C-alpha cells in the first residue's frame, strides 16, 4: 500500500497558528517586527474599540484580528476587557499557561504537537461556537481514528466475538463513560465557566444545569419543569417508535457502539440550518462533563494525527486506551446457552452436545455440588459446577461457548499496521455468532 503524505494534506486544514512546525522553535523564534506589522495591516481593521474589532468581519482573518488587537491594546485594563469579551482564550495565551504545558508533558505528547492546538482541543463547542476556535473539527477526525484503531484491535484479536459483545468491547475501550474517566485520570480540570480570560489549561465547556438546582431562586427544581418538545430534535428514535433493534440494524444504522445516530450527515445535507440549530442549542443548554471530555480526547487524538502523523497517533492510542484492562469473558450475557451451543455444534459440523456428570458430592445434603461436562462425541467442550444439575449444565454450556467465541490467534497484525510502514497480512475472518 502506498504511504499517504499526510502532512501535505493537513497543512491546508490547520490554521496558520497551529502548523506542525517545531514546538521548540515556536517558543524561541519571534518574527521580526516588520513582518508582524505587515500581517496586522493585512488582516482585519484594527480599532481601539473592542466591540467593533470582535465582530466577525471575514472568517479567515478573525484569529489574526483578535491576536493583533490583543497585542496592540496599550493598557492592561484594555487587554482584560478584550479577554473578557471573547468566548475562549486566544491561541497566543497558550504559551503562558503552566497548567497547559504540564498537561502536555504529563501525557507525553509528541513535541510536534504545539501548545496552541492542545489548548484548542480543550475548547468545547458549547464554550465557543466558532469552529475555528473549538475542537469540533478535530474531534470528528479523532472519533473515526479511535473507532478504526479500537475495532481492529478488538476484531483481529477476537475474530469470533458476537456483534453485541463487540459493540460492548468498543464501548468499554473508547465509550464516553470510559473517556470521561480517562480525562479525570489525566488530571484535566474543568473551568467553572468558559471565557477568554480563563487559563487555557482548563477544559472549557458550558455545563448543563444540575437537575436539583432551583429555577431563578423560586425553589422549583430544574428537573421538575415540563419538557418542552423542540422541532429540531429530528426523527423519533427506534425505541420511541416501539421497535427493538437487532444486531444487523445496529451494524448498518448505528455508530460503532451500536447506538442510534440522532443526526447523520444526510440530515444535515437535507436541512443545512439544522447544524447551526444544534450548535446553538448546545451553546444555550450546555453539555455534560462526559460529552465535553469525550470531545476533548477525540480532538486530541485527531490533533496528534494531524501534527505528528500516524505512528504517533497509534502509539498514543496504544499507551492510553489499548493498555487499559478489559476482561472480555465478563461482557457476555447468555439467555439460553444450551440452545446456542447445540446450534453452534450443528453449524460447525460437530456431534450434538451432551451433558454428563463428571463428579458430584452431597446430592442429598443441603449444599450439593455437581460437576458437569458438556461433550460433543468424545471431545469435552466445556465444564461447569453448580449446586443443581441444571445450573452446572448451563455453566458448562456457557464455558463451551466462551471457549469458542473468545478464540484469539497467537500473532496478530492489524490492518492499519500496513499504513504505518508494516507488511499487510490478511487476518482471520470468522463466520460470526450463531443465529437462533
Partner 1 sequence: MPVQAIRTTSTARNGVGAFILQCKRLDFHYCDHWGSSKGMNTFLRSPLLPRFAAAHPQIQIHISPRPNTHPIIRGLYINGREKVICVRNLEKEQILQKCELLRDATGEKVKRPKGGRVVGSLNESVRGVWDPYHGGNKEIFGGRIVGAGR
For partner 1, the binding residues (CB under 8 A) are: 98-99, 101-102, 104-108, 162, 164-165, 167-168, 171-173, 175, 177-178, 181-182, 184-187, 247, 318-320, 322-327, 330-336, 340, 359, 361, 369, 371, 385, 401, 405, 433-436
Order the strands of the 369-376 sheet from edge to edge: 354-361, 369-376, 379-386
Distance (Å, rounded) from C-alpha 319 to C-alpha 323? 6
How many Å is the maximal CA-CA distance in the chain?
A: 96
Shortest reach from residue 42's CB to partner 1, in Å? 36
DSSP letters, 265-309, are HHHHHH-THHHHHHHHHHHHH-B-HHHHHHHHHHHHHHHHHHHH-
Shortest reach from residue 420's CB to partner 1, in Å? 17
| CA 203 to the chain's CA centroid | 16
Shortest reach from residue 275's CB to partner 1, in Å? 30
Distance (Å, rounded) from C-alpha 431 to C-alpha 427? 13
Please, are residues 146 and 139 in contact by the beta-carbon 8 Å criterion? no
Please, are residues 20 and 14 in contact by the beta-carbon 8 Å criterion? yes
Please, are residues 44 and 64 in contact by the beta-carbon 8 Å criterion? yes
Distance (Å, rounded) from C-alpha 233 to C-alpha 15? 32
Cβ distance to partner 1 smaller for residue 214 or 359: 359
Shortest reach from residue 340's CB to partner 1, in Å? 7
Cβ distance to partner 1 smaller for residue 14 or 341: 341
Would the CA dihedral through 217, 221, 222, 224 be positive or negative?
Answer: negative
Cβ distance to partner 1 smaller for residue 132 or 361: 361
- Residue owning grid cell 487587554: 79
The DSSP secondary-structure symbol of 254 reads B
Shortest reach from residue 99's CB to partner 1, in Å? 6
Instruction: Please report, for residues 14, 23, 86, 401, the alpha-carbon distance to residue 120 in angstroms, rounded to integers and kept in the order given.
Output: 11, 15, 14, 47
**Nearest of 352, 436, 337, 348 to residue 396 by alpha carbon:** 337
Shortest reach from residue 373's CB to partner 1, in Å? 11
Shortest reach from residue 191's CB to partner 1, in Å? 16
Cβ distance to partner 1 smaller for residue 292 or 397: 397
Distance (Å, rounded) from C-alpha 39 to C-alpha 27? 19
Cβ distance to partner 1 smaller for residue 125 or 201: 201
Shortest reach from residue 101's CB to partner 1, in Å? 7
Shortest reach from residue 375's CB to partner 1, in Å? 17
Cβ distance to partner 1 smaller for residue 78 or 255: 255
- Residue owning grid cell 498514543: 316
Cβ distance to partner 1 smaller for residue 130 or 259: 259
Please, are residues 204 and 88 in contact by the beta-carbon 8 Å criterion? yes
Cβ distance to partner 1 smaller for residue 352 or 361: 361
Cβ distance to partner 1 smaller for residue 125 or 399: 399
Amino acid at each position: 500500500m502506498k504511504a499517504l503524505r499526510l502532512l501535505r494534506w493537513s497543512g491546508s486544514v490547520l490554521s496558520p497558528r497551529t502548523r506542525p512546525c517545531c514546538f521548540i522553535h515556536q517558543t524561541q523564534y519571534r518574527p521580526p517586527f516588520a513582518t508582524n506589522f505587515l500581517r496586522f495591516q493585512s488582516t482585519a481593521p484594527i480599532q481601539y474599540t473592542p466591540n467593533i474589532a470582535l465582530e466577525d468581519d471575514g472568517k479567515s482573518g478573525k484569529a489574526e484580528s483578535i491576536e493583533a488587537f490583543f497585542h496592540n491594546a496599550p493598557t492592561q485594563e484594555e487587554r482584560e476587557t478584550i479577554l473578557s469579551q471573547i468566548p475562549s482564550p486566544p491561541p497566543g495565551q497558550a504559551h503562558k499557561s503552566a497548567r497547559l504545558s504540564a498537561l502536555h508533558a504529563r501525557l507525553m505528547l509528541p513535541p510536534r504537537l504545539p501548545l496552541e492546538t492542545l489548548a484548542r482541543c480543550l475548547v468545547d463547542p458549547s464554550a465557543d461556537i466558532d469552529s475555528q476556535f473549538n475542537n469540533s473539527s478535530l474531534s470528528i477526525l479523532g472519533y473515526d481514528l479511535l473507532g478504526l484503531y479500537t475495532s481492529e484491535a478488538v476484531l483481529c484479536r477476537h475474530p469470533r466475538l458476537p456483534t453485541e459483545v463487540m459493540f460492548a468491547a468498543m464501548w468499554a475501550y473508547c465509550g464516553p463513560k470510559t473517556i470521561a474517566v480517562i480525562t479525570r485520570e489525566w488530571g484535566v480540570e474543568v473551568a467553572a465557566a468558559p471565557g477568554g480570560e480563563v487559563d487555557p489549561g482548563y477544559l472549557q465547556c458550558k455545563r448543563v444545569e444540575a437537575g436539583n438546582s432551583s429555577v431563578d431562586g423560586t425553589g422549583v427544581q430544574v428537573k421538575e419543569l415540563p419538557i418542552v418538545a423542540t422541532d429540531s430534535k429530528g426523527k423519533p428514535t427506534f425505541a420511541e417508535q416501539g421497535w427493538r433493534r437487532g444486531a444487523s440494524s445496529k451494524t448498518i444504522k448505528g455508530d460503532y457502539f451500536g447506538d442510534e445516530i440522532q443526526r447523520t450527515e444526510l440530515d444535515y445535507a437535507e436541512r443545512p440550518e439544522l447544524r447551526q440549530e444544534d450548535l446553538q442549542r448546545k451553546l444555550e443548554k450546555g453539555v455534560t462533563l462526559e460529552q465535553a471530555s469525550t470531545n476533548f480526547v477525540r480532538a486530541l487524538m485527531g490533533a496528534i494525527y494531524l501534527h505528528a502523523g500516524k505512528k504517533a497517533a497509534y502509539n498514543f492510542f496504544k499507551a492510553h486506551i489499548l493498555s487499559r484492562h478489559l476482561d472480555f469473558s465478563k461482557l457476555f450475557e447468555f439467555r439460553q446457552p444450551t440452545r446456542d451451543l447445540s446450534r453452534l455444534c450443528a453449524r460447525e459440523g460437530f456431534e450434538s452436545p451432551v451433558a454428563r456428570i463428571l463428579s458430584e458430592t452431597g446430592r442429598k445434603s443441603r449444599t450439593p455440588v455437581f460437576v458437569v461436562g458438556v461433550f460433543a462425541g468424545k471431545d469435552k467442550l466445556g465444564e461447569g459446577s453448580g449446586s443443581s444439575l441444571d445450573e452446572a449444565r448451563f455453566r458448562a454450556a456457557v464455558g463451551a461457548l466462551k471457549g469458542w467465541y473468545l478464540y484469539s490467534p497467537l500473532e496478530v497484525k492489524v490492518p492499519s499496521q500496513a499504513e504505518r510502514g508494516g507488511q499487510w497480512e490478511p487476518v482471520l475472518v470468522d463466520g460470526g455468532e450463531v443465529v437462533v
